[in-house]
Structure 1
């Protein structure tokens, strides 16, 4: 390798690692809509630096997220937007946001299955996971070194966290999840009531048309006819409005609920690792006390001493590994919490903006219908005055 090549290689290695995934287009052909991806990266393990026209279905996105949740329980994995039969511009934006959050995540962006998701030429189906030997050994270690020492330890929701920040986040997440479930139920009731109301508006418009046709007094017939059109227009606007609210608000609340649950799952995982670490500490202390008893014993059994030393060393090693694991999980979760808070704020403001714009549009449509009544009354009054003047001049 020449000096120039060596210098170039050093610059390439020092360059910030990036993974950019965008959705420039969608393919609506066939039964299921497909998202067309464009990918740029300088990660050395990828086969190429650019991938174009990578088509993936919503189901393949679901498979990817399920894998990430299972493989990285310590991470707050971004939530997928809801599946739609017709993919709108807002849906594409939400899917772009999902991919952007994954590609910027320090852990998730390095996942090997994500690379397969991008590079696979025949769709994405995560391979069956091999038996996790390390996980089995970890479980065996927990059972071995926590036997007896962890009696009474509970990892449920009632168990507290030793870190105030994580304990506070845990309490907030639990409350938000509970409140969101209540809000979703109340929204369903409110949507149903408003749908019934829009149906009554449509019935009233039909009734006005019927009365206009059967009314013998011309003035009343014109009034009923004049009223029927805006009532029908308002009924249609109300129906579209409530349908949009069910989609926009309902989807956002479901999305937010899943987002909070993702946070809760990550906090629960840290708590389980903390419980295992606490059990390992108690186990090490128990083994140490056993050693001290053997040392102070008048009759020493060499075999027991050897076994006790081995047990203590194993317990200390396991405790050290669990401490390191807890530190890794805590550091990753602390960083994820910063992103979670910012994402929650961004998601809320985006949903509020979208909802407000829709409401303004529908309310303007209703106002125009009501204003048409006033314009119709004025036109009818002017027509009546003209007829009166004509009759007066004729007489």
Structure 2
């Protein structure tokens, strides 16, 4: 029997990773009725990652918290034994606040900290934070405060919320941090390898996406630098151990201080998910791998789902095709993969999002007809 693997990331605004896999499978089975299609929903730590995990099962929990600008919100997370998986985008995500005026200087991760506390109350001893899709650039200051740290200015008063508040930061006191947080095992799953500060840092690269003007980007970058210096003094480590670690700039720097404080590890999201869902085992013996995301472009090669799936398929000599809402031909050529846009022709974004499942199924059917034949 011909075996096909559908290993898709979410199509933002259109399909979850599981829905994308199901749509591709529908197309393959229509084209090659005898095909066996294995669904492997993928993610890289950004928003939608929790949905990919839930496709594998697990106990879903909900926490009443606040979003990045302080409004009431409900964040979902999973608990498996003592292992809690928490998606930052559920509590401090950009999609949650797109209906309001963006506040890049004030947006805070305090809501994420409240979810972490709820997980600890539920008995979690291992915490995996999925870092991506944030509306914040506060270096995780909101989480630290929620866990009991004091971030103060020269007069000893608490600094304001968000990255903007860090401009007055002089001292961090971690003596009152919740001891359960310090005893827990932490993992930070990131979708980028950016450092905390500098031209590749959290503010410079991602601040504009969160509404920051050039002047505000400069303010936030300087503020994150103050955070790194104050944290290094408080923890007795080199500043580079806060600011220069790959992935420290993910989600507005959410893992930068927390990692050093807890001894946690930063891991590349795509590779972590691949191991978690058994991607290599799924691909073994298959004839074709289909993967994709909403937009396939130059960023896709940097540890995103498509690049991880491509590497796994290439290692086993299995042909692969990328199906995406939009395709950058230069990026496809640079990665050396065939890539097809699911758009049947010119269409507006609303139409593409509305019809994404059917368009993806049709594209998968076309690829299957061209590359497969039913086993005798």
When the two structures are superposed, what TM-score results if normalisation uses the length of structure 2? 0.22
Larger Rg: 1
Which has the larger share of strand? 2
Which has the larger share of helix? 1
> Per chain length, whose mean CA-contact separation is higher, i.e. which structure has more relative contact order (CA < 8 Å, sep 6+)?
2
